Structure 1
């Protein structure tokens, strides 16, 4: 796969995330022309086109492309790309699809160590799928597995994100004291390294409130708000969470 094909595919992906689907599709057309019959190049183009359709809510058009990318990437022995395709099949389908294809992707990672970087994201993504389906025990198990991988790989930022998912799920399960203790540990460690950890402070606010300590809930909510009120993405996407934090902050 040429660098030009990769660059165009990545540019298309960024345009898709920004919502400029027409321009993104045009770039994929260019990349596909450059890729010719190269299976790795074709796989990169097909998966990005599928992502565009998926982002636009056209999953019926996206999923066949992800399956094609899975086939092409394995043919090209582009193993990380193959896992990416399997992961997109997983997140674009039903809960059963997610479970089946995450297992397929993890098995593939086990056979191809060069794709090992995908292990934690696969576990993490499936965890959120289970969480959204109300399967909190399954989600907690997956998030803890993802955190173990991040710890083994000494990925500090990613480990904090993994622990956030653990804390959020503990709270969903009603384990407020366990969630509070872990959240305080992670938030304090993050702040010692210059990370103000607003999402963990948000969780602390909720846990303190559930445990009846409204003074500490208020303090944690205010510390979270000091950061999150300035985050334009959070403000736009999470109006309920923002309103809740303001309520807890008094």
Structure 2
């Protein structure tokens, strides 16, 4: 039963990310009828309905659903699902709430190691909560912890994502040379792996521009734009960053 519910919930999540919330909720309604009294299936429904509300900017409606998912998933012994719910509770609350829920989730992982892969995402999300609050030193500490976890797990793509957060925060702290060096290393590693790192290249362009290397900034911005101009989510959702990259690329 949970598998069928998961399939419907996964489709609902994709619809939510595409902005089709009505269709997403309709799928969760269908999943809810299948879930019956099964606590894991009900937790999945609550979690994904909460995500739909959160994606629609309705945090006040999302939060109790994430709380319900946290309760039901623990009742079902679905430990990774429980941590997923806790991580969403950290995202939708205040900074103090994010700190508290991250600590709760990490403690829960300590009791249930099978949910261990959630450690790095939890630290990453807490880092961005600190970043958004202007607490860059606190953000950097969490991002660096996330990098260490990703490195130990050997996840190359996730390492790049984690390093991007470190680079962005170093720039916010004014530590431009460190940010530039790490961005250059990360971009070069991506090339060696046959992968793309447009956000790292965006940061490299910004760092080079601030350090007075306008030719280098232009080159990095053009490389970043070659990928990001094809990304409709970025084009539609980040007009200021897109315009900035285009200026740097001239």
Q: Which interval holds the TM-score relative to the shorter structure? A: over 0.9
Aligned residue for 2:61? 61
In the aligned structure 2, how far is the partner of 1:245 from the partner of 1:2? 45
In the aligned structure 2, how far is the partner of 1:2 from the partner of 1:10? 12
Secondary structure of 1:247's match? helix
- By how many angstroms is 1:18 displaced? 1.7
Instruction: Give the root-mean-square deviation of aligned CA atoms.
Output: 1.2
Aligned residue for 1:131? 131
- By how many angstroms is 1:45 displaced? 0.8
Change (3 A) 1:225 1:137: same
In the aligned structure 2, how far is the partner of 1:202 from the partner of 1:2? 41
Secondary structure of 1:12's match? helix
Pair 1:45 & 2:45 matched? yes
- By how many angstroms is 1:17 displaced? 1.5
Pair 1:142 & 2:118 matched? no
In the aligned structure 2, how far is the partner of 1:203 from the partner of 1:93? 28
Unaligned runs of 5+ in 2: none
Q: TM-score, normalised by structure 2?
A: 0.96
Unaligned runs of 5+ in 1: none
In the aligned structure 1, how far is the partner of 2:83 from the partner of 2:214? 46
In the aligned structure 1, how far is the partner of 2:226 from the partner of 2:59? 38
- By how many angstroms is 1:77 displaced? 0.5
Pair 1:76 & 2:41 matched? no
Aligned length: 250
In the aligned structure 2, how far is the partner of 1:55 from the partner of 1:220? 31
- Residues 59-111 of structure 1 show CA distances to partners (whole Å, capped at 9, x for unaligned) of 22211111111111101100011001111111011111111101111111111
In the aligned structure 2, how far is the partner of 1:229 from the partner of 1:36? 45
- By how many angstroms is 1:226 displaced? 2.2
